């Protein structure tokens, strides 16, 4: 009788921890995209091609925060004569949880003429915090991180 009661209490405690984890990472059904997909874009203005871009999902999973993640990379660039006037070469990327479709990490590398920005964003869904790190263009080193509260 004592063993049965102890087993039930222990099982109840463990179930409480599991449900908390599921609240942080709720299961979301994904039928929109999958590993290995690549989409290529061509941007036009009338008959002129002014840019090209691509979105690719890495064929392998990556582990971040102990979770399997998709690695998604996006690239956009001006082409042709537009490149002489408005040189754009931007890259973005994210590590997205495969089960909850939530971001764990995001980066962007912006190159638009003389404007440059390199930034990494880290998401802590358990603590509900977001950390943003930006590289100082003058020194090439990270500036002091900024922290934000994240919605549930």
Supply the pTM of this predicted model: 0.79
Q: What are phi and psi of 17, to 5 degrees?
A: -70, -40
Q: Report how far residue 152's alpha carbon sits from residue 149's, in angstroms, rounded to the nearest whole number.
A: 9
The pLDDT assigned to 84 comes to 87
15 within domain boundaries: no
36 within domain boundaries: yes
The pLDDT assigned to 31 comes to 87
How many structural domains is the chain composed of? 1
* CB contact at 8 A, 34 and 75: no
Give the residue ranges of the chain where pLDDT is below 70.
Answer: 1-22
Q: What are phi and psi of 71, to 5 degrees?
A: -110, 115
73 within domain boundaries: yes
Give residue 145's domain range: 30-149
93 within domain boundaries: yes
12 within domain boundaries: no
The pLDDT assigned to 20 comes to 47
103 within domain boundaries: yes
Q: Which of 145, 62, 64, 146 is nearest to 105 (CA)?
A: 64
The pLDDT assigned to 17 comes to 52
10 within domain boundaries: no
Q: Report how far residue 22's alpha carbon sits from residue 11's, in angstroms, rounded to the nearest whole number.
A: 17
117 within domain boundaries: yes
Q: Is the dihedral of CA 10, 152, 62, 31 positive or negative?
A: positive
């Amino acid at each position: 009788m004592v063993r049965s009661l102890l087993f039930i209490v222990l099982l109840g405690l463990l179930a409480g921890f599991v449900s908390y984890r599921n609240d942080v990472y709720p299961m979301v059904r994904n039928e929109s995209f999958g590993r290995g997909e690549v989409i290529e874009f061509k941007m036009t203005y009338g008959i002129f091609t002014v840019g090209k871009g691509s979105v690719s999902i890495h064929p392998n999973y990556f582990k971040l925060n102990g979770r399997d993640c998709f690695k998604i990379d996006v690239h956009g660039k001006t082409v042709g004569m537009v490149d002489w006037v408005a040189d754009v070469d931007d890259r973005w990327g994210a590590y997205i949880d495969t089960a909850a479709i939530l971001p764990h990490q995001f980066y962007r590398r912006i190159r638009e003429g003389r404007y440059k920005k390199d930034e990494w964003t880290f998401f802590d869904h358990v603590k509900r915090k977001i950390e943003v790190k930006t590289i100082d263009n003058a020194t090439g080193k990270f500036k002091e991180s900024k922290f934000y509260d994240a919605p549930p």
